[in-house]
Structure 1
Amino acid sequence: MGGMDVGGGIAGKLWNKFRSESVFVNYTPFFVCLAAGNLSADSFHHYISQHVHLLNAFAHAYELAEECADDDEDKKAIRNLRKYVQAKLKSHDSLVREWGFELPEERSLTNATVKYTDFLSATASGRIEGERVPGKLATPFEKTKVAAYTLGAIAPCMRLFAFINKEIQALLDPNDSTHIYKKWIDHYCSENFEAYAFRIEELLDTLSISLTGEELDVIEKLYHQSMRLEVDFFSSQPIIQEAVVPLSRTLDPAVGGELSIFCDFDLTCTAFDSSAILAEIAIITRPKADPDGSETQLSRMSSADLRSTWDALSAQYTEEFEQCVESITTTKTAETFSYEGLCEALEQFAHFEKAANSRVVQSGVLKGLNQEDIKRAGQRLILQDGCKGFIQKIMKNENLTAAIHVLSYCWCGDLIRSALSSAGDLKALNVHSNELSCEDSTTTGEIIKKLESPMEKLQAFNNILNNRDKDGQHLTVYIGGSVGDLLCLLEADIGIVMGSSPTLRRLGEQFGISFVPLFSGLVAKQREVVEVGSSNWKRLSGTLYTVSSWDEIHAFILGSSS
């Protein structure tokens, strides 16, 4: 959390729970342009004018909260928070000038600002959706509850602001005096502002101590709602310049603009590897005799034998995989990006993967699986947080022409289709993987091999691209996290690495590939827009972007999640 201590009370717990929402604020055109130092003055002035309305709403909410608090110390603490905001409002004009900006003329409130200020006012007045707060707050305790609710609605805004500005500050050169928003960013990264955010959180923790579980749930809802309103507030800031985010808006459907999204499945969409899941189904279902009695249990491997066979196959796979990586990475590291060298090295992986699959077939571990069991396991498969939501949004987006392709080494395409079926219409989701051979809905133990190597993945990737309309404006994004994805990641216009596979990074760096966190990559691209006049994404640039969650991908490609 960038060195921020949010404490261990409810404020800290809620920030950690909903912190992923900060991604959707960070990746707004407003903050990407601001971080790049080329947000237009008019956009910034508009933001400042709306921000003043928010500061007034915070001051009013504090005033009502102070009246509700029944403890003198708490009243004093709330009063001090209000004084801080009032001082900010008084010095606002001189502060904005000091930052080097002209003051904006008075502007009317936008819808997003109205929603936010109304929410703060309603909460501080005890009008809380789904919570039965009496019309007249009769007892001191009922009033104290409202004071806690009010702090719960304010706390995320200040923490979010401190957090995002620290994220941006980390990308800036401390000696760069040309960045026009640096003073503004520094102000929100100051110890003074950090201390203010922490005081709010401390007070929220104090006011929450005597609340019931139900009342703490209300605070959680208010905290989350406040985060969502913050996302809407920054997403709705008007940007009059070309921005690199969200990516979907840079494609014009009117001129055949089409987005092709490719992704790996195992450990990219899922939290677990599918081969282990298929083996587990085989082990669990193996002791059952066939209904027609044609095959007795005794003629099949027992569950215990099957487990030890699978364990031996897994151990051999891991050992040989590591040997493969070792033999490649002991060679001299390339000084510049070497695609040819990488292709040559990955040939070793092709032989290794094919040999490993052949051993699995020969072992018979995949024999006798029922297709219904496979489908059920797919439906229960845990997908990475945000993956399903992103796929659903892409499929439902009427302003975007997009196709999603899953390219996977998985042995069973049905498992993938079943796992992703809850994400929406599978007609728009194309699965390219191996399949398990079946007779009468039971697997024979054979794998119908289609994708077993990085080269075969790349071939499938290129075949799909070659079938597209040649005249349109196309963009390809590949999302993956394993060695088998490297060639596709590099051949796509934008290659995004999910997770932190040390092997992928080690191998990539061996051949001169740069790994750049996506947000800092986008800020650099945004600077390019001004310097070069465009932000063309280039295939085979040798740069891959890293993310730690699907929320980052969602925010980059589609923008706000609401």
Structure 2
Amino acid sequence: MKTATSWKDLKEREMGGAGVAVVVDEGGIAKRFSIKFRDESIFALYSPFFVCLASGALDSDTFLHCISLDVHFLKAYARAYELAEDCADDDDDRSAIRNLRKRVVKKLRMQDKLVREWGFALPSESICDNATTKYTDFLLATASGKVEGERVSGKIATPFERTKVAAYTFGAVAPCMRLFAFISSEIQAILDPDDSNHIYKRWIDHYSSEDFEAAALQTEDIVDKLSVSLTGDELEVIEKLYHQAIKLEVEFFAAQPISQPTVVPLSRGHDLTESHLTIFCDFDLTCTAFDSSAILAEIAIITAPKEDLDGYESQLARMSSADLRKTWNVLSTQYTEEFDQCVQSITSSETVDQKFDYGSMRKALEQLADFEKRENAKVVQSGVLMGLNLEDIKLAGQRLILQDGCRRFFQNIVKNENLKTDVHVLSYCWCGDLIRSAFSSGDLNVLNVHSNELAYEKSVTTGEIVKKVESPIEKLQAFNNILKDRSREAKNLTVYIGGSVGDLLCLLEADIGILIGSSSSLRKLGDQFGVKFVPLFSGLVMKQKELAEGNSANWKPLSGILYTVTCWAEIEAFILGL
């Protein structure tokens, strides 16, 4: 059971205070687009090229091949800026665009010197590859007014049409500048500042510099200014151009020839065509945006007064909606307070350089197991789950909001015929029907669901819970029982994705445990027993270093390390890649 007085309170609590009601200032349209399409940038960051580069172990020939293609990009930028300057009708805009063009032309002239400053020498000639041509052709077509779905073509006559084309052009340039700034800053953040041996540090310093960031911001500012007078439909065109540009850039980096062994994507590094991948996943607040217990209670509160129970007498049938909500709020408040007390009792001692102690953690979590069972018994006794119609539950499941990227990840896993994969959802959820309904579309009904179930009479709940998975201990039992069926596999790799305290044991028992979100209670318990929380990208870079040094990149259970992510795109980029 995981409850809260409201969906907002629950979200804030489980996600470490970052609730759904938090308002983020997204700024102008360029910034909004960069936030909206951040997933695309993550796929570039997690590409073999950048993981190897961040580790300092990228083959130098691969690096030189990539940066030798800059000349084609720079020439395209220079021409696009020239066309955009001619289209802009404001003197300040033209001046800003002219300065950006001068910057590109200067970099083009000094490219060889700049690369030498990075510690390399460019090859004598650069052969333009298909991925480069796709982007440069797209950019120059946009700068010439040839935009799909637009009627602007031939001679661009009116000032408004000219300004619109300039806006479109910068909509196709800005994401590339932002992508480089994002990737370099992410890599810079994990580098050892005292490490002078990283051969790509100067390249990273260049693109994470204040000067480059200023150029990226100036480009975005021009997008915003040129877009002020555009209609909603025209802004949608810019959004499509922005998205297309960043996709082409990501495809460019994914296409870079990598001959060395890499840890990403996982499906390639472990040759999962030969071995079996078993993915385990929590449901509430790992897959979903809201906790299922709150959703089931809300269904009961909304539908019970109107439900025809065909003469079936129950306390719920006589209870008003207001009384139901009051009962639920009392249960939620009590659960929250007593859960905090339980975690506090487990984590009361100081943790200073605590070594990983799985045995003591498992024993401590038995206290939590007893607590969860008592709380579920209270829910049954209260009667708040009595009188729910199965069809209402299924409809709620179908409309359930999943975390961004979650459904896409599982769909791509399921439809990938080259992978021997099965997926198991392990959940405290009171109702397996709700989970199955949430995954009923897009061929996701093949996901195996292991949870509690609600008891029914004539498709109406009796208020009883058929208890199967109530605690971290029972989740682990379900986890181990599934793996017993896989024991005959020659090779089997397990990944567990979770976000709450109930997932801790399974996360640690899996070959790879991935923690999504920032549950403060899970972090407290982990710290108490010596668990290390490592950002996934940082962990992959370390693994890549080990691989380059001749060590094995094998993943092992009970390492005491959990890999943290902020979104599902990181998980998909790591496991499947582009």
Same fold (TM > 0.5): yes
Provide the rounded CA distance (Å) in 1 between the counterparts of 2:317 and 2:302. Answer: 17
CA deviation vs aligned residue, 1:41-94 (integer Å, no higher than 9, x gap): 111111112222111111111121122223333222222111111111111111
Measure how far apart 1:16 and its partner are. Answer: 2.2
Report the 3-state secondary structure (helix = DSSP H, G, I; strand = E; otherwise coil) of the residue aligned with 1:261: strand
Say which is worse superposed, 40-49 or 6-15, in terms of deviation. Answer: 6-15
Report the 3-state secondary structure (helix = DSSP H, G, I; strand = E; otherwise coil) of the residue aligned with 1:478: strand
The alignment's TM-score, normalised by the length of structure 2, stands at 0.93
Provide the rounded CA distance (Å) in 1 between the counterparts of 2:439 and 2:144. Answer: 44
Q: Which amino acid aligns with 2:516?
A: M
Provide the rounded CA distance (Å) in 1 between the counterparts of 2:310 and 2:396. Answer: 24
Provide the rounded CA distance (Å) in 1 between the counterparts of 2:482 and 2:69. Answer: 47
Instruction: Map residues 363-402 of structure 1 onto 2, 5 A cutoff.
Output: 363-402=382-421
- Counterpart for residue 468 of structure 2: 450
Q: Which amino acid aligns with 1:331?
A: S
- Counterpart for residue 285 of structure 1: 303
| Aligned partner (choices 48, 59, 67) of residue 86 of structure 2 | 67
Say if 1:184 and 1:314 are closer, same or farther in 2 by CA, change over 3 A.
same
Provide the rounded CA distance (Å) in 2 between the counterparts of 1:467 and 1:231. Answer: 39
Q: Which amino acid aligns with 2:428?
A: Y
Instruction: Map residues 70-85 of structure 1 onto 2, 5 A cutoff.
Output: 70-85=89-104
- Counterpart for residue 549 of structure 2: 531
| Aligned partner (choices 202, 217, 235) of residue 216 of structure 1 | 235
- Given that residues 251 and 473 in structure 1 are in contact (C-alpha distance below 8 angstroms), is that contact kept between their aligned partners in structure 2? no
CA deviation vs aligned residue, 1:198-242 (integer Å, no higher than 9, x gap): 221222222222222222221111111111111111111111111
The yes-or-no answer on 1:491 pairing with 2:509 is yes
- Counterpart for residue 3 of structure 1: none
What value does the CA root-mean-square deviation take over the aligned residues?
Answer: 1.8
Provide the rounded CA distance (Å) in 2 between the counterparts of 1:191 and 1:304. Answer: 57
- Given that residues 139 and 172 in structure 2 are in contact (C-alpha distance below 8 angstroms), is that contact kept between their aligned partners in structure 1? yes
The yes-or-no answer on 1:187 pairing with 2:206 is yes
Provide the rounded CA distance (Å) in 2 between the counterparts of 1:218 and 1:501. Answer: 39
Provide the rounded CA distance (Å) in 2 between the counterparts of 1:478 and 1:296. Answer: 41
- Given that residues 48 and 264 in structure 2 are in contact (C-alpha distance below 8 angstroms), is that contact kept between their aligned partners in structure 1? yes
Measure how far apart 1:114 and its partner are. Answer: 1.4
Q: Which amino acid aligns with 1:533?
A: N
Report the 3-state secondary structure (helix = DSSP H, G, I; strand = E; otherwise coil) of the residue aligned with 2:439: helix
Provide the rounded CA distance (Å) in 2 between the counterparts of 1:282 and 1:183. Answer: 60
Measure how far apart 1:136 and its partner are. Answer: 1.9
Provide the rounded CA distance (Å) in 1 between the counterparts of 2:561 and 2:271. Answer: 25
Say if 1:132 and 1:350 are closer, same or farther in 2 by CA, change over 3 A.
same
Report the 3-state secondary structure (helix = DSSP H, G, I; strand = E; otherwise coil) of the residue aligned with 1:148: helix
Provide the rounded CA distance (Å) in 2 between the counterparts of 1:489 and 1:505. Answer: 13
Measure how far apart 1:104 and its partner are. Answer: 2.3
- Counterpart for residue 188 of structure 2: 169
- Given that residues 316 and 387 in structure 2 are in contact (C-alpha distance below 8 angstroms), is that contact kept between their aligned partners in structure 1? no
Measure how far apart 1:474 and its partner are. Answer: 1.6
- Alignment length, in residue pairs? 554
Measure how far apart 1:273 and its partner are. Answer: 0.6
Say if 1:132 and 1:297 are closer, same or farther in 2 by CA, change over 3 A.
farther
- Given that residues 565 and 571 in structure 2 are in contact (C-alpha distance below 8 angstroms), is that contact kept between their aligned partners in structure 1? yes
Provide the rounded CA distance (Å) in 1 between the counterparts of 2:50 and 2:272. Answer: 26
Report the 3-state secondary structure (helix = DSSP H, G, I; strand = E; otherwise coil) of the residue aligned with 2:456: strand
Provide the rounded CA distance (Å) in 1 between the counterparts of 2:366 and 2:34. Answer: 46
- Counterpart for residue 272 of structure 1: 290
Provide the rounded CA distance (Å) in 2 between the counterparts of 1:296 and 1:434. Answer: 22
The yes-or-no answer on 1:235 pairing with 2:235 is no
- Given that residues 273 and 418 in structure 2 are in contact (C-alpha distance below 8 angstroms), is that contact kept between their aligned partners in structure 1? no
Measure how far apart 1:331 and its partner are. Answer: 2.7
Provide the rounded CA distance (Å) in 2 between the counterparts of 1:512 and 1:402. Answer: 31
Report the 3-state secondary structure (helix = DSSP H, G, I; strand = E; otherwise coil) of the residue aligned with 1:259: strand
| Aligned partner (choices 24, 28, 38) of residue 57 of structure 2 | 38
Say if 1:220 and 1:527 are closer, same or farther in 2 by CA, change over 3 A.
same
The yes-or-no answer on 1:196 pairing with 2:196 is no
- Given that residues 499 and 519 in structure 2 are in contact (C-alpha distance below 8 angstroms), is that contact kept between their aligned partners in structure 1? yes
Provide the rounded CA distance (Å) in 2 between the counterparts of 1:254 and 1:124. Answer: 44
| Aligned partner (choices 510, 514, 535) of residue 517 of structure 1 | 535
The yes-or-no answer on 1:135 pairing with 2:158 is no
Instruction: Map residues 224-263 of structure 1 onto 2, 5 A cutoff.
Output: 224-255=243-274, 257-263=275-281
Say which is worse superposed, 132-141 or 238-247, in terms of deviation. Answer: 132-141
Say if 1:296 and 1:492 are closer, same or farther in 2 by CA, change over 3 A.
closer
Provide the rounded CA distance (Å) in 2 between the counterparts of 1:496 and 1:104. Answer: 41
Measure how far apart 1:7 and its partner are. Answer: 8.6
Provide the rounded CA distance (Å) in 1 between the counterparts of 2:132 and 2:487. Answer: 43
Measure how far apart 1:445 and its partner are. Answer: 1.1
- Counterpart for residue 418 of structure 1: 437
Measure how far apart 1:527 and its partner are. Answer: 0.6
Report the 3-state secondary structure (helix = DSSP H, G, I; strand = E; otherwise coil) of the residue aligned with 1:267: coil
CA deviation vs aligned residue, 1:169-216 (integer Å, no higher than 9, x gap): 111122211100001111111222112112212222222222222222
Q: Which amino acid aligns with 2:534?
A: V
- Counterpart for residue 24 of structure 1: 43
Q: Which amino acid aligns with 1:177?
A: S
Measure how far apart 1:291 and its partner are. Answer: 5.5
The alignment's TM-score, normalised by the length of structure 1, stands at 0.95
Say if 1:187 and 1:253 are closer, same or farther in 2 by CA, change over 3 A.
closer
| Aligned partner (choices 553, 558, 565) of residue 540 of structure 1 | 558
Provide the rounded CA distance (Å) in 1 between the counterparts of 2:421 and 2:559. Answer: 24
- Given that residues 251 and 258 in structure 1 are in contact (C-alpha distance below 8 angstroms), is that contact kept between their aligned partners in structure 2? no
Provide the rounded CA distance (Å) in 2 between the counterparts of 1:287 and 1:495. Answer: 44
| Aligned partner (choices 568, 572, 577) of residue 550 of structure 1 | 568
- Given that residues 287 and 297 in structure 1 are in contact (C-alpha distance below 8 angstroms), is that contact kept between their aligned partners in structure 2? no
Say if 1:457 and 1:472 are closer, same or farther in 2 by CA, change over 3 A.
same
| Aligned partner (choices 457, 462, 465) of residue 480 of structure 2 | 462
Q: Which amino acid aligns with 1:510?
A: Q
The yes-or-no answer on 1:328 pairing with 2:315 is no
Report the 3-state secondary structure (helix = DSSP H, G, I; strand = E; otherwise coil) of the residue aligned with 1:495: strand
- Counterpart for residue 16 of structure 2: none
Report the 3-state secondary structure (helix = DSSP H, G, I; strand = E; otherwise coil) of the residue aligned with 2:506: helix
Provide the rounded CA distance (Å) in 2 between the counterparts of 1:463 and 1:337. Answer: 25
- Counterpart for residue 367 of structure 2: 348
- Given that residues 333 and 510 in structure 1 are in contact (C-alpha distance below 8 angstroms), is that contact kept between their aligned partners in structure 2? yes
Provide the rounded CA distance (Å) in 2 between the counterparts of 1:288 and 1:198. Answer: 56
| Aligned partner (choices 135, 138, 142) of residue 123 of structure 1 | 142
The yes-or-no answer on 1:477 pairing with 2:463 is no
- Given that residues 315 and 383 in structure 2 are in contact (C-alpha distance below 8 angstroms), is that contact kept between their aligned partners in structure 1? no
CA deviation vs aligned residue, 1:279-314 (integer Å, no higher than 9, x gap): 111111111253534548996322222222211111
- Counterpart for residue 22 of structure 2: none
The yes-or-no answer on 1:432 pairing with 2:442 is no
Measure how far apart 1:360 and its partner are. Answer: 1.0
Report the 3-state secondary structure (helix = DSSP H, G, I; strand = E; otherwise coil) of the residue aligned with 1:479: strand
Provide the rounded CA distance (Å) in 2 between the counterparts of 1:118 and 1:367. Answer: 62
Say if 1:394 and 1:357 are closer, same or farther in 2 by CA, change over 3 A.
same
Measure how far apart 1:110 and its partner are. Answer: 2.2
5+ residue gaps in structure 1? 1-5
5+ residue gaps in structure 2? 1-24
Provide the rounded CA distance (Å) in 1 between the counterparts of 2:56 and 2:471. Answer: 43
- Counterpart for residue 96 of structure 1: 115
Identical columns (%):
69
Provide the rounded CA distance (Å) in 2 between the counterparts of 1:421 and 1:299. Answer: 30
Measure how far apart 1:473 and its partner are. Answer: 2.0
Provide the rounded CA distance (Å) in 1 between the counterparts of 2:506 and 2:316. Answer: 46
